[in-house]
């Protein structure tokens, strides 16, 4: 079985031309923090990385000394994903940059195929241009569809927007209740974009519980990570706790033993994407009755 | 040294050359046409050439030119056909098709017995159960053929496959999975349908085999054999194949260099298929690869894709858009495959380099974007003979055809859609009025746009006689005439699949009519399309083709 049945978290990054997707990708690749990330981009030449980090470059694939790999999206998604599946070892996660007119909702099924599990849909929006783009002939509705599909919105360039991005925020709020993160120069905590590194292992080890609040790199000006104690809960109670999380929650993760069901329950939240699902494949001893929650500071 | 020439005497030679529209014979030497006329005229003019009566009972026409097809048509014939309608294979044999589940099972049993390796996948394609009544094909139907060999039935739409339990167990999803498009039965187990490409990718080995076929020279040979069988002497690959490196080009030129290779191939370069570099660099590449052309392979044109398909609801439509869902909910507009800015940057680079661009535009909004882009490119750089072509152009309006004419553009109209999806367009996608003027050949004529008509093989089967039959009759699969006022004459349709197709491929000085100096590419038919009832044009037998004066043999 591929990668012993492991399914790699797969994040989609959408947004129109000029929204800052490439800048975000460059930041992630340069700040991977030990993660082996496969980054799928439209144009490998756009990946701007310190030459010293490049281990190998064959035109369509860029291998980095930090373990990350950047691949051009080949002729179609099927072949591109098959290239990843042919890797002998599973990467830690996959980040796919969509084209400027890519509609994440239509691409999302690919992120949930053999070897992958859709982690979340992140859409970048240019604070200075978004309102105008939404009115533009031919593509205005496409940009609306992108925002509608977003679990998280990364609002870029609000530092140069004359109104600080307030018109763009109104546009986003007209179609989406997803948390909006201000991102300047692509600087985004990789835990926020791609999820907590090794989340299940770390969350599941009781002796590291004390370390949890620091995961996700709390930045009081931007986002706050905290621990929510769950105690004894039923599956339904756990679901309603997750559903009632504030709209400011950008990520939450937990592996919980419920009082009324046998398998461990995994909580996975990326903005508006909130799932609670059984993980019968995991050892119950790994459960921790607490949930890591990252909240955006608006 | 010149070879001695030969005079082919025919029941009739239909030249499509206005100066000499019909003749008794055509004289050929060194792959070129010496002239047309009577046998006596040819001997008087060119000396005592041998007279060949192979086609004395046939009608010779210019070989058909398919200006929008894909080599997938050859790749997919690596496996057997299991569709509803009888269909010719590249070996010239007619497959009866599968008109019931039982017929499919019989076919699979026969093919299963022919395979030696018990782990080898059994793949068939073209399956089309829409005329079978309500029941859906499922794994349990296929399990009776084999409980150990993986079986994969590719449906006609190419958006659905049905697989057996052995295949699902190999990939570990027989007990169901959370992939979109994998329906489960009452017992929670997957029923065997894999809907849409993401779910289809679960059949990893079979999909890899299909992709592998695309890069196999044998597929190009089968593609050319298929062309021969249906009377095409020139077929295109509209940009689905990568033409980036030397290896990509060599795949085509080496396959076609075999003695007696039965068709000329015109592969178009698609900048979205693995091309790296700036628009100007890619345009220079598109020009440079012309030097790799051979007598049987012509490089140098470009294809881009702007939107999706109408039957898939992914083409970009102007208001009022698609009909709503049956429950009344609105359908969203389709998708763009290239940003307008990127399209314009690529288009202008090709235009400046004098590279003809063919653009896939199914919906009328996509046509608007194309017209705006051509208009802007022409305003910046004058090139009168650009021959930029709108491909598919299915919902193009009279107003758009007027603009197309003023901009000097060509169209390639997807006439086969009328037969294969016309009923669905009328009932489900756009409604009766817009369906009646879909694929509007007569409107293109009225507004002065030169056009071809096409199959988009393998989306619909390759076959210019069938495609011109669609343009002439506009009959749907259910037998209705859709938009009778958009029907065109036999003569007009015949020009569309010969000289006007050649024109948009920039080959009209070499092929597309039978006249002195052109390549000796002919199709021999059992009947003259001008003489028969227009409703039987598609049934005229193809006797043979000649490419460069050589009769192509199976």
User: How does pLDDT run along chain B (554 residues), one tens digit per residue?
Assistant: 467 899 999 999 999 999 999 999 999 999 999 999 999 999 999 999 999 999 999 999 999 999 999 999 999 999 999 999 899 999 999 999 999 999 999 999 999 999 999 999 999 999 988 778 778 999 999 999 999 999 999 999 889 999 999 999 999 999 988 899 999 999 999 999 999 999 999 999 999 999 899 999 999 999 999 999 999 999 999 988 899 999 999 999 999 999 999 999 999 999 998 888 899 999 999 999 999 999 999 999 999 999 999 999 999 999 999 999 999 999 999 999 999 999 999 999 999 999 999 999 999 999 999 999 999 999 999 999 999 999 999 999 999 999 999 999 999 999 999 999 999 999 999 999 999 999 999 999 999 999 999 999 999 999 999 999 999 999 999 999 999 999 999 999 999 999 999 999 999 999 999 999 999 999 999 999 999 999 999 999 999 999 999 999 76
- How close A71 comes to chain B (CA, Å)? 11
Residues of A in contact with B273 (CB under 8 A): 75
Residue B335 sits at the chain A interface (C-beta within 8 Å): yes
Q: What is the ipTM of this complex?
A: 0.92
Residue B20 sits at the chain A interface (C-beta within 8 Å): no
Q: In chain A, which segments carry CATH 3.40.50.300?
A: 2-194
Question: Helices B398-406 and B364-380 meet at what angle, rounded to 10?
Answer: 20
Q: Taking a C-beta distance cutoff of 8 angstroms, is the pair B67, B412 a contact?
A: yes
Residue-wise pLDDT tens digits, A91-106: 999 999 999 999 999 9
Residue B179 sits at the chain A interface (C-beta within 8 Å): yes
Best of A6, A101, A119 to disrupt the B interface (most B CBs within 10 Å) is A101
**Do residue A113 and residue B274 have CB atoms under 8 angstroms apart?**
no
pLDDT, residue B355, reads: 98
pLDDT, residue B360, reads: 98
pLDDT, residue A209, reads: 44
Q: Nearest 10 degrees: CA dihedral of B91, B97, B103, B109?
A: 20
CATH of A199-296, one of 3.30.1220, 1.10.3470, 3.40.50, 1.10.760: 3.30.1220
> What DSSP state is assigned to residue B76?
G
Q: Considering only CB atoms, which residues of chain A are within 8 Å of chain B?
A: 1, 5, 16-17, 43-45, 59-60, 72, 74-79, 81-82, 85, 99-101, 103, 106, 108-110, 112-114, 138-139, 141-142, 145
**Do residue A138 and residue B273 have CB atoms under 8 angstroms apart?**
no
> Within chain B, what is the greatest distance between any pair of CA atoms?
82
Query: pLDDT-derived band of residue A226, with 50, 70 and 90 as boundaries?
Result: confident
Residue B275 sits at the chain A interface (C-beta within 8 Å): no
pLDDT, residue B412, reads: 98
Residues of B in contact with A113 (CB under 8 A): 179, 198-199, 201-202
Query: pLDDT-derived band of residue A194, with 50, 70 and 90 as boundaries?
Result: confident
**Do residue B369 and residue A138 have CB atoms under 8 angstroms apart?**
yes
Chain A / chain B CB contacts < 8 angstroms: 86
Coil vs helix vs strand at B287: helix
The structural domains of chain B, ordered by start, are 6-57 (no CATH), 74-212 (3.10.310.70)
Query: pLDDT-derived band of residue A200, with 50, 70 and 90 as boundaries?
Result: very low
Nearest to B521 by CA among B264, B155, B276, B346: B264
Alpha helices by DSSP H, listed for A20-86, are: 21-30, 77-85
CATH number of the domain located at residue range(s) A2-194 in this protein: 3.40.50.300
Q: Taking a C-beta distance cutoff of 8 angstroms, is the pair B336, B304 a contact?
A: no
Q: Express as a percent the part of chain A with pLDDT over 70.
A: 91
Best of A6, A71, A109 to disrupt the B interface (most B CBs within 10 Å) is A109
Best of B169, B171, B201, B245 to disrupt the A interface (most A CBs within 10 Å) is B201
Which residues sit opposite A267 in a β-bridge?
A254, A276
pLDDT, residue B467, reads: 98
Nearest to B288 by CA among B299, B303, B302: B299
Q: Express as a percent the part of chain B with pLDDT over 70.
A: 99
Nearest to A46 by CA among A99, A107, A102, A7: A99
pLDDT, residue A218, reads: 61
Q: Which of B179, B211, B332 sits opposite A79 (nearest CB)?
A: B211
pLDDT, residue A230, reads: 87
**Do residue A114 and residue B171 have CB atoms under 8 angstroms apart?**
yes
Q: In chain A, which segments carry CATH 3.30.1220?
A: 199-296
pLDDT, residue A208, reads: 43
Q: Nearest 10 degrees: CA dihedral of B370, B456, B242, B269?
A: -40
The CA–CA distances, whole Å, from B17 to A120, B9, B125, B515, B518 equal: 62, 18, 40, 7, 11
**Do residue A112 and residue B179 have CB atoms under 8 angstroms apart?**
yes
């Amino acid at each position: 079985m591929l990668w012993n049945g492991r399914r790699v978290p797969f994040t989609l990054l959408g947004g129109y031309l000029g929204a800052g997707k490439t800048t975000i990708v460059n930041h992630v690749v340069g700040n991977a923090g030990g993660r082996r990330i496969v980054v799928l981009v439209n144009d490998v030449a756009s990946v701007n990385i310190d030459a010293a980090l490049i281990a190998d470059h064959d035109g369509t694939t860029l291998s980095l000394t930090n373990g990350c790999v950047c691949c051009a999206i080949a002729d179609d998604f099927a072949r591109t994903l098959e290239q990843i599946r042919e890797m002998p070892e599973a990467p830690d996660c996959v980040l796919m940059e969509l084209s400027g007119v890519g509609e994440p909702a239509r691409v999302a099924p690919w992120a949930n195929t053999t070897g992958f599990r859709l982690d979340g849909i992140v859409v970048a929006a240019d604070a200075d241009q978004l309102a105008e783009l939404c009115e533009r002939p031919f593509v205005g509705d496409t940009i609306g569809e992108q925002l509608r599909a977003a679990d998280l919105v990364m609002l870029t360039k609000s530092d140069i927007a004359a109104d600080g991005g307030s018109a763009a925020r109104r546009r986003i709020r007209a179609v989406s209740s997803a948390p909006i993160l201000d991102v300047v120069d692509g600087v985004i905590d990789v835990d926020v974009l791609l999820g907590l590194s090794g989340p299940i292992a770390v969350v599941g080890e009781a002796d590291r519980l004390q370390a949890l609040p620091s995961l996700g790199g709390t930045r009081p000006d931007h986002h706050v990570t905290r621990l929510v104690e769950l105690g004894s809960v039923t599956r339904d109670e756990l679901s309603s706790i997750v559903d009632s999380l504030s709209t400011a929650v950008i990520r939450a993760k937990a592996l919980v033993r419920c009082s009324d069901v046998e398998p461990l329950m995994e909580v996975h939240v990326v903005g508006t994407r909130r799932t609670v699902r059984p993980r019968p494949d995991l050892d119950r001893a790994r459960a921790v009755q607490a949930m890591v929650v990252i909240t955006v500071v608006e | 040294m010149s070879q001695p020439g030969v005079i082919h005497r025919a029941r009739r030679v239909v030249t499509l050359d206005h100066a000499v529209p019909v003749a008794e014979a055509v004289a050929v030497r060194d792959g070129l046409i010496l002239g047309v006329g009577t046998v006596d005229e040819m001997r008087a003019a060119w000396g005592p050439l041998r007279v060949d009566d192979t086609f004395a009972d046939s009608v010779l026409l210019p070989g058909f030119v398919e200006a929008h097809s894909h080599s997938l048509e050859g790749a997919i014939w690596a496996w057997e056909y299991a569709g509803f309608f009888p269909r010719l294979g590249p070996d010239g044999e007619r497959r009866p098709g599968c008109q019931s589940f039982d017929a499919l099972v019989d076919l699979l049993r026969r093919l299963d017995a022919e395979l030696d390796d018990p782990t080898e996948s059994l793949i068939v394609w073209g399956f089309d159960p829409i005329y079978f009544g309500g029941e859906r094909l499922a794994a349990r139907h296929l399990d009776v053929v084999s409980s150990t060999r993986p079986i994969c039935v590719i449906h006609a739409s190419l958006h659905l496959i049905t697989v057996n339990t052995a295949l699902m167990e190999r990939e570990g999803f027989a007990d169901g999975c959370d992939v979109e498009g994998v329906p489960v039965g009452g017992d929670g187990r997957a029923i065997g349908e894999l809907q849409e490409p993401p779910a289809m990718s679960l059949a990893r080995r079979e999909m890899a085999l299909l992709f592998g076929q695309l890069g196999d020279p044998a597929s190009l040979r089968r593609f050319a054999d298929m062309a021969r069988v249906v009377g095409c002497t020139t077929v295109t690959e509209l940009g689905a194949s990568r033409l980036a490196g030397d290896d990509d080009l060599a795949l085509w030129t080496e396959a076609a260099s075999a003695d007696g290779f039965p068709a000329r191939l015109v592969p178009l370069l698609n900048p979205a298929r693995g091309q790296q570099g700036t628009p100007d660099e890619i345009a220079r590449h598109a020009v440079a690869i012309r030097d790799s052309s051979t007598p049987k392979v012509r490089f140098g044109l470009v294809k881009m894709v702007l939107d999706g398909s109408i039957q898939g609801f992914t083409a970009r439509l102007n208001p009022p858009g698609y009909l709503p869902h049956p429950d009344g909910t609105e359908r969203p507009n389709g998708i763009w495959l290239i940003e307008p800015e990127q399209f314009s940057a690529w288009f202008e680079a090709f235009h400046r380099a004098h590279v003809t661009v063919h653009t896939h535009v199914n919906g009328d909004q996509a046509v608007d974007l194309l017209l705006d882009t051509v208009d802007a490119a022409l305003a910046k750089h004058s090139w009168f003979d650009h021959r930029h072509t709108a491909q598919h152009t299915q919902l193009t309006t009279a107003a758009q055809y007027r603009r197309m004419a003023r901009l000097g553009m060509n169209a390639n109209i997807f006439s086969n859609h009328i037969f294969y999806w016309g009923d669905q367009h009328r009932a489900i996608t756009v409604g009766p009025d817009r369906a009646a003027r879909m694929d509007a050949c007569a409107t293109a004529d009225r507004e002065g746009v030169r056009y071809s008509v096409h199959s988009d093989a393998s989306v619909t089967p390759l076959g210019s006689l069938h495609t011109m039959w669609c343009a002439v009759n506009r009959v749907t699969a259910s037998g209705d005439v859709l938009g009778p006022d958009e029907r065109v004459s036999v003569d007009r349709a015949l020009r569309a699949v010969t000289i006007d197709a050649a024109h948009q491929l920039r080959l009209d000085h070499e092929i597309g009519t039978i006249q002195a100096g052109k390549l000796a590419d002919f199709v021999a038919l059992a009947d003259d399309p001008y003489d028969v009832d227009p409703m039987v044009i598609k049934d005229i037998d193809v006797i043979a083709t000649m490419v460069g004066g050589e009769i192509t043999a199976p």
